[in-house]
A and B are shown apart, each in its own frame.
Chain A
Amino acid sequence: GENVEQHPSTLSVQEGDSAVIKCTYSDSASNYFPWYKQELGKGPQLIIDIRSNVGEKKDQRIAVTLNKTAKHFSLHITETQPEDSAVYFCAPKTSGTYKYIFGTGTRLKVLA
Chain B
Amino acid sequence: GAVVSQHPSWVICKSGTSVKIECRSLDFQATTMFWYRQFPKQSLMLMATSNEGSKATYEQGVEKDKFLINHASLTLSTLTVTSAHPEDSSFYICSARGTSKTARYEQYFGPGTRLTVT
**Interface residues, chain A, CB within 8 Å of chain B?**
32, 34, 36, 41-46, 49, 51, 89, 91, 93, 97-105
Contacts and interface: CB of A to CB of B under 8 A. Distances in A.
Given A34-B106, A98-B32, A98-B97, A42 B46 contact: no
Contact of A43 (B46, B106, B109): B109
Interface residues of B, number: 24
8 contacts: A32-B105, A43-B110, A97-B49, A98-B32, A100-B107, A102-B44, A102-B45, A104-B43
> Main SS of the interface on chain B?
strand
B34 interface: yes
A42 B105 contact: no
Given A41-B112, A43-B112, A44-B93, A100 B46 contact: yes
> Main SS of the interface on chain A?
loop
Most chain A CB atoms below 10 A, which of B6, B42, B107: B107
Nearest to B46: A99
A51 B32 CA distance: 20
